[in-house]
Structure 1
Amino acid sequence: MGCCCCFSSWSLLCQTLFLLNLAAYHLAHASSDEYISAIGHPGMKSPDVRVGLEAWNFCNEVGMEAPNMGSPRLADCADLCCPLIIDSLGRTTKCEVHHKVNESDNSLGTGDKFPVTRFKPYTDPDLFAVEKEQYLASLCENGNFDKNTTLCPENGKNISKIITKRNFPCFSEGCMNQPLVYHNYTRLVSLGDQIESLTGGFYGTYDLDADLSKGVGNKSYFSVTWQKNLSTGSWIFSQRLTTSSKYPWLMLYLRADATEGFNGGYHYSGRGIKRKLLESPNFKVKVTLDVKQGGGPNNPCDGDVLTNVTRYSEMIINPATTSRCHADNLVSCPPYHVSRTGEKIYRNETSQFPYSAYHLYCSPGNANYLEEPYDICDPYSNPQAQELVQILPHPEWAVHGYPEKQGDGWVGDSRTWVLDVGALSSRLYFYQDLGTEPARRVWSSINVGTEIYVSSTGMTAEWSVSDFDILVPEDVASSGVSFD
């Protein structure tokens, strides 16, 4: 279960990319050393606010809405307007905040009619959320697992009841509810020397009996606030996530999506800030990440759900996370590793395979020709099958700007990273059926966030993200799929 603020993204614990189509190994090199931004607001420096919040249950759907909360899609889109007008006393007029989304828009729930008739008032909560997300986007232009549920498809297939040996936590029927979400609408603030800016945020809990006016206590909690960094001009997104005994598996991400088409983990079109689809190996990500608290040791981090796969490439920087990929546990290793020189090193080559560079690998459940030994990724927590490659700080990845050793970039070591995500993702192993043509690796979403995984006690993670940008070589910026 989790929330996502859709603006821009990298990860507190893991770099997460989502790929919605089957992919194969693809190694190439950009021919240009000049890079330009691929997002609408390079470096997060727009004076205006464009933030959308979405929440989902264990299988990345809505299922049912929380009481009196409406559909779990909300937006805060506000413009800072500072007209240069001088009054009769020689004073400039004050800045104003102009909201594009109001409370009645954010409170729309399943079956409600939209103010614009081209959006359909579906009575299915999952379908309504899709419409609401796109309706809110139009205004802004310019975990916990119940094994008795039938909500989650198994590798994209609808089933009557989940049968699994996986030991997922669930306190009782109904542990896949949507959260209570509260909104501090963007407001005007004066910062030093009469500089005026905007600030706002979302916060909430999955514990439906919680009264946050009395404090968080032992309840689950999440929050995201935004404010300007006066020295750089970038937005700072400060985030916090706390688990509880009832909700021990939660996640919170800041995400950048394509402006058209599919986005990470979903099988329907969304709206985002990326003006161009990203293709390996030709893109980099720049981000400043400041980890305040780590959240404990358990931090993993075409729309046809029957044949598509959501692929995750995750860099886990939590030093408490160790490798499960060993010479005596090959089931948690990818079939082979691609060295920085392009050499394939198979996992049974014990003297050469860099086991400590991987936390774990798991295979998609709809694959037909898996190589023994293998472990299937959780088949229920996504609308379609999923494949995970979780890597750890290691010299193998440092050549692409990633952490070289455990502790790099962790609590007390805030850094601005320039990550050659495209080059690294082109080296990683991803499954492909035998005899099929090597597929392009096109990434629709990039996330920054954390996942607190099945904590026995309430754990809190806290971090901030700023200076986010996605960079593509100038000579490929005009090629491929763009949305300008």
Structure 2
Amino acid sequence: MLKSAYGGHFSSYVGDPGMRRDGLRVAFEGWNFCNEVGSEAPGMGSPRLADCFEFSGNLITEEKHLDHKVNVRDNKLGVGMPFPGLTPGALNNPDLYAAEKELYLGSLCEVEEKPNPWQFWMLMLKNGNFDTKSGLCPENGKRVGPFPQTGRFPCFGSGCMNQPLVHHQQTYLAAEIGEMVGGFNGTYDLDGGSGAGIGGFSYFEVVWRKKAGIGSWVFTHKLKTTKRYPWLMLYLRADATKGFSGGYHYETRGMLKTLPESPDFKVKLTLDIKQGGGPKSQFYLVDIGSCWKNSGSPCDGDTATDVTRYTEMIINPLTPAWCSSGNLNACPPFHITPENKKILRNDSANFPYAAYHYYCSPGNAEHLEEPFSICDPYSNPQAQEIVQILPHPAWASYGYPSRAGEGWIGDPRTWDLDVGGLSSRLYFYQDPGTTPARRIWTSIDVGTEIFISDRDEVAEWTVSDFDVVVSGK
């Protein structure tokens, strides 16, 4: 039982409740369009890195020390380079190598706790470019060959799905400001160098800082898109410490030492958005991800039948509601109120259309209710189902923003979100006559997806006090 900084008592599902532990555990992962690696960036190694250390010393005197668990060689490991635990089949396969490198870094960073150990917060960076001629991405979990490029997906040509150049500033004690500071930054432009600032290139940056013994770590994020890289995503994630994480079909490592299940959990965090990333920035106050089959059974790694499920609250006030009485295919079949009243989407007098940006169905579902819209079949290793919601009075009783602009630029807030309660009432597809799935969530994150911007855009935000809790236990 812990005493919350927000008041009251709670049990936390994460290894580092509220980001208050001086010994930080943080990792970085790079994904291409279909949540794989594809190929490593020159000289960068596999795009899995970590910065993990224990803090020791006297908080009053100057005697302080950071005992790092991951060295430069560990972070530079790339295909063809062996490490403890690496399987022979992964040695020269960039996708498998990255998955196993994450496990290795997790073993270096792991904190032993009863009943479950934990590893690190995860920073996820994803490139939305898709070279359809590459044959790299499956369609709804089934391997497909190359097909002609269309205007649906951005790609400047061969190599557009590349991994970024990454510069790592290992966390250090900055005596002049009395803080611990570290970070990752870089660019997708392989001729642009790394660590050189934004300039005219695509750019990402995450810097973390904290004073020993005081408050939360503060993670400051920046993300810049360009014409060559118009669709980029950057999230701070709490992932499962074992098993699959949301959107991933390999064994992963993370911060969720106990997996939250609807309806009995909340997410707490402080979010300060400095720049929004433009009108195409789908900024997620919180995004939760999991995986279960259309039969309701848990996922087992069979990408042809597994389905990634996402629920995303977009707080950018420039994001419109695609769901409307005249566009029912972008709406879920029904809405459920906090009082468990079901409202059908064709009930134009009562359905809260403005509460939904977009709903899309899994591409491998066999009993969809018309009209429907199928989720993008290529951007996950398996089919996916997505519920994207917007600030609206329908969500106010769960602690979510009730009107556009709440929590946006100039309105930093500490949120106490009943994510479990809301996610228990959202619609998710399931085959008729099957036992309802247990809604167990393996990833919870915050950040932005700048979705195919038509001009260079910059988003900047800070996250602190991040926690996932179950109340009253």
Could you tell me which of 161, 165, 169 is aligned with 2:146? Answer: 161
Listed as ranges, the matches of 1:249-268 within 5 Å are: 249-268=231-250
Q: Residue 255 of structure 1: SS of its match in structure 2?
A: strand
- Residues 261 and 467 (structure 1), Cα distance of their counterparts in 2 relative to 1, 3 Å cut: same
Separation (CA, whole Å) in 2 of partners of 1:365 and 1:347:
21
Greater displacement, 57-66 / 118-127: 118-127
Partner of 1:390: 388
Q: CA deviation at 1:339?
A: 1.4
One-letter amino acid of the structure 2 residue matched with residue 82 of structure 1: G
Could you tell me which of 184, 187, 195 is aligned with 1:202? Answer: 184
Q: CA deviation at 1:164?
A: 8.0
1:80–1:198 contact (8 Å) kept in structure 2: no
Q: CA deviation at 1:244?
A: 0.9
1:12-31 per-residue CA deviation (whole Å, 9 max, x = no partner) reads xxxxxxxxxxxxxxxxxxxx
One-letter amino acid of the structure 2 residue matched with residue 354 of structure 1: P
Partner of 2:97: 128
Q: CA deviation at 1:165?
A: 6.3
- The answer as to 2:257 corresponding to 1:275 is yes
Partner of 1:4: none
- The answer as to 2:207 corresponding to 1:225 is yes
1:47–1:197 contact (8 Å) kept in structure 2: no
1:330–1:348 contact (8 Å) kept in structure 2: yes
- The answer as to 2:56 corresponding to 1:95 is no
- Residues 81 and 359 (structure 1), Cα distance of their counterparts in 2 relative to 1, 3 Å cut: same
Listed as ranges, the matches of 1:272-311 within 5 Å are: 272-300=254-282, 302-311=300-309
Could you tell me which of 417, 422, 436 is aligned with 1:438? Answer: 436
One-letter amino acid of the structure 2 residue matched with residue 128 of structure 1: Y
Separation (CA, whole Å) in 1 of partners of 2:310 and 2:273:
22
Partner of 1:176: 161
One-letter amino acid of the structure 2 residue matched with residue 181 of structure 1: V
Separation (CA, whole Å) in 1 of partners of 2:62 and 2:462:
33
1:226–1:238 contact (8 Å) kept in structure 2: yes
2:131–2:149 contact (8 Å) kept in structure 1: no
1:218–1:458 contact (8 Å) kept in structure 2: no
Separation (CA, whole Å) in 1 of partners of 2:360 and 2:308:
12
Partner of 1:57: 32
1:101-149 per-residue CA deviation (whole Å, 9 max, x = no partner) reads 00100000012111x2565552110000011000011111131111212
Q: CA deviation at 1:211?
A: 3.2
Q: CA deviation at 1:230?
A: 7.6
- Residues 263 and 191 (structure 1), Cα distance of their counterparts in 2 relative to 1, 3 Å cut: farther
- Residues 191 and 369 (structure 1), Cα distance of their counterparts in 2 relative to 1, 3 Å cut: farther
Partner of 1:402: 400
Partner of 1:28: none
One-letter amino acid of the structure 2 residue matched with residue 240 of structure 1: K
Q: CA deviation at 1:216?
A: 2.4
Separation (CA, whole Å) in 2 of partners of 1:229 and 1:313:
34
Structure having greater relative contact order (Cα 8 Å, sep ≥ 6) = 1
Q: Residue 101 of structure 2: SS of its match in structure 1?
A: helix
- Residues 326 and 223 (structure 1), Cα distance of their counterparts in 2 relative to 1, 3 Å cut: same
One-letter amino acid of the structure 1 residue matched with residue 260 of structure 2: L
2:335–2:345 contact (8 Å) kept in structure 1: yes
Separation (CA, whole Å) in 2 of partners of 1:77 and 1:299:
31
With structure 1 as the length reference, what TM-score do the two structures score? 0.86
Partner of 2:289: none
Q: Residue 139 of structure 1: SS of its match in structure 2?
A: helix
Q: CA deviation at 1:82?
A: 0.5
One-letter amino acid of the structure 2 residue matched with residue 264 of structure 1: G
Segments of 4+ moved more than 6 angstroms: 163-166
- The answer as to 2:138 corresponding to 1:138 is no
Separation (CA, whole Å) in 2 of partners of 1:147 and 1:118:
31
1:299-349 per-residue CA deviation (whole Å, 9 max, x = no partner) reads 235222111111110111000111111101111111111112111111111
Separation (CA, whole Å) in 2 of partners of 1:153 and 1:117:
28
2:185–2:195 contact (8 Å) kept in structure 1: no
1:257–1:446 contact (8 Å) kept in structure 2: yes
- Residues 93 and 253 (structure 1), Cα distance of their counterparts in 2 relative to 1, 3 Å cut: closer
Listed as ranges, the matches of 1:230-379 within 5 Å are: 233-300=215-282, 302-379=300-377
Separation (CA, whole Å) in 2 of partners of 1:134 and 1:213:
27
Partner of 2:76: 107
Separation (CA, whole Å) in 1 of partners of 2:311 and 2:176:
39
Q: CA deviation at 1:431?
A: 0.5
1:22-73 per-residue CA deviation (whole Å, 9 max, x = no partner) reads xxxxxxxxxxx96321111111000012110000100000011011110000
- Residues 164 and 280 (structure 1), Cα distance of their counterparts in 2 relative to 1, 3 Å cut: farther
Partner of 1:66: 41
With structure 2 as the length reference, what TM-score do the two structures score? 0.88
Separation (CA, whole Å) in 2 of partners of 1:325 and 1:164:
28
Q: CA deviation at 1:217?
A: 2.0
Q: CA deviation at 1:437?
A: 0.9
Partner of 1:27: none
One-letter amino acid of the structure 2 residue matched with residue 441 of structure 1: R
Q: CA deviation at 1:229?
A: 6.0
Question: Unaligned stretches of 5+ in structure 1?
Answer: 1-32, 85-90, 476-484
Equivalenced residues, count: 433
- Residues 345 and 243 (structure 1), Cα distance of their counterparts in 2 relative to 1, 3 Å cut: same
Partner of 2:51: 76
Separation (CA, whole Å) in 1 of partners of 2:169 and 2:403:
39
1:229–1:236 contact (8 Å) kept in structure 2: no
One-letter amino acid of the structure 1 residue matched with residue 426 of structure 2: L
Q: RMSD of the alignment, in Å?
A: 1.9
Question: Unaligned stretches of 5+ in structure 2?
Answer: 1-7, 112-127, 284-299
